[in-house]
Chains A and B, each alone.
Chain A
Amino acid sequence: MSGRARIIRTVCISGFALFVLLSLGFGFDPGEKIAVNFAFFSLDMLKVLPCAFILIGLFEVWVRRETVERQLGEGSGLRGYGWVLLLSGTTVGGLYVAFPVAYSLFSKGARLSVVFAFVGASAICRVPMAIFEASFLGVKFTAIRMLVSIPIVIMSSELLGRYLRKRRYAMVDGSAA
């Protein structure tokens, strides 16, 4: 990570902490509301993130690179997409959980198109979420959303993956930016 980015981040985080502390101290209403938001979303994420990272750790030590390469790698064709659609169906949380998992898949040898399909699919076809959605908006609504978006996600992931592979693109490990 570049020095400038690090400085910006440090300033943002400490500025925010100062703002929240002062707001709470002086009873500044907008600041208090923002603090409540921050606490709410932090707790919501802390319910999921440690679990996600533990599963990532287990995946890293127990799943062999050759297995991932064979099932999700360059030669896996459509099967790779099948696997990530299934995997994404079980994802909890949101996009922010999918990114570290995507990195783990990539670093074990999954091809880029499959990685992008996983990120897209984990946004749209998480099973618990879809059931919840259908209970409020109807089965027809959810079915249309999934049946239209999945093929588009696969096609755009395939194109994006091919384009980036030509440019020798590689994901980074999360500490870099």
Chain B
Amino acid sequence: MKYLYVLVGLGVATSFIASREKTFQALRIAARRFLNILPAFLMMLILVSVVLFFLPDEVITAYLGVDNRFVGTLFGALLGSITLMPGFIAFPLCGILLEKGVPYMVLSAFTTTLMMVGVLTYPVERAYFGAKVTIIRNTLSFLTALVVAAATGLLFGELI
């Protein structure tokens, strides 16, 4: 994260040296676009905070740990789709689940949909892509995650 701030700082400084006018123009564009999308982000944050209240880590852990690994994979894909969490929470959680004996296949379905499918980011995605394309993209991503999970299961010898 620190690198991001350094990069942005250097970028703005270089730009400012090259052209003061263009830099202000860039910052104006940044502010305008940020404010434009802010209401959609607020909607997304509201969705996230409510949904994660009903699906805390313990609930997710319980669903991913079911005995049947195919049911677990399905739960993983569904839960990954309808939740949103930063990597620094998601991956340690998966590490714990792995030690508890949850199959790789289940974790793959969960992490891949977590990253690729965004039900909660729908308000933001729709603002740029429109409702129809948002739904198509997320459906394709969900199917992709299932293929990835199947491949993971196959290569870790969990599928058959």
Are A174 and B5 in contact, CB atoms less than 8 angstroms apart? no
Alpha-carbon distance A99/B123, docked complex (angstroms) = 11
Given A12-B43, A37-B52, A141-B108, are A99 and B125 also a contact pair (CB < 8 Å)?
Answer: yes
Are B133 and A95 in contact, CB atoms less than 8 angstroms apart? no
Given A56-B29, A57-B29, A174-B33, are A133 and B87 also a contact pair (CB < 8 Å)?
Answer: yes
Cross-chain contact of B148 among A94, A140, A145, A177 (Cβ < 8 A): A145
Are A149 and B112 in contact, CB atoms less than 8 angstroms apart? yes
> Which residues in A have their C-beta under 8 angstroms from that of B31?
53
| Count of CB-CB pairs between chains A and B under 8 Å | 209
Alpha-carbon distance A145/B112, docked complex (angstroms) = 8
Are B128 and A137 in contact, CB atoms less than 8 angstroms apart? no
Given A51-B4, A123-B141, A174-B128, are A44 and B148 also a contact pair (CB < 8 Å)?
Answer: no
Are B46 and A38 in contact, CB atoms less than 8 angstroms apart? yes
Categorize the interface residue count of chain A: 35 or more
Given A136-B95, A137-B95, are A95 and B125 also a contact pair (CB < 8 Å)?
Answer: yes
> Which residues in A have their C-beta under 8 angstroms from that of B41?
45, 49, 96
Are A54 and B26 in contact, CB atoms less than 8 angstroms apart? yes
List A100-152 residues whose CB lies under 8 Å from chain B.
Answer: 100, 102-103, 116, 119-120, 123-124, 129, 132-133, 135-137, 140-141, 144-145, 148-149, 152
Given A123-B115, A133-B111, A137-B104, are A148 and B124 also a contact pair (CB < 8 Å)?
Answer: no
> Which residues in B have their C-beta under 8 angstroms from that of A120?
116, 141, 144
> Which residues in A have their C-beta under 8 angstroms from that of B46?
12-13, 16, 38
Residues of A at under 8 Å CB distance from B? 9, 12-13, 16, 30, 33-35, 37-38, 41-42, 44-45, 47-51, 53-58, 60-62, 92, 94-96, 99-100, 102-103, 116, 119-120, 123-124, 129, 132-133, 135-137, 140-141, 144-145, 148-149, 152-153, 156, 160, 164, 169, 171-177
